[in-house]
Amino acid sequence: MRGVGLSRQKTAYLRDLSEKTKAGLLEFERMSDTSDDEVIAHLTQVKGVGVWTAQMFLMFTLRRPDILPTGDYGIQAAIKKYYKKRKWPKPAVMLKIAKPWVPYRSIASWYLWKSLDTKTMEK
């Protein structure tokens, strides 16, 4: 694993993931039929998998349309920028701002990320 560039810590995370999967503690086949909160709880039992990682799994692997990753730096930065916040927005503020985006917060998040990548002409 070190030979392909993985740190000792990431190797330990992958081992924990594979051990839990082999032991039947992670059932990826059932995740498409469970709630977002259940998927997050299920995945975060693995060392190295936090809420943000679980949310990315929900958005990009399970293609859930209504995920708002409030712990994501890019989403925070975009909301701070476009909603003219002086401080980094807290999750409760982000959820309030994103309420009109329900049930498509995943799509809105993608556009927020993309908006930060786009070069614009500013005066």
* C-beta pairs of 110-119 under 8 Å, 24+ apart in sequence: 112/74, 112/75, 112/78, 112/79, 112/82, 113/74, 113/75, 113/78, 115/78, 115/82, 116/74, 116/77, 116/78, 116/81
Closest CA to 40 of 29, 53, 28: 53
Q: Which distant-in-sequence residues (6+ apart) come within 8 Å of 97 by Cβ?
A: 79, 83, 89
Catalytic (active site) residue 117: no
Active-site residue among 16, 36, 66, 72? 72
Active site (catalytic) residues: 72
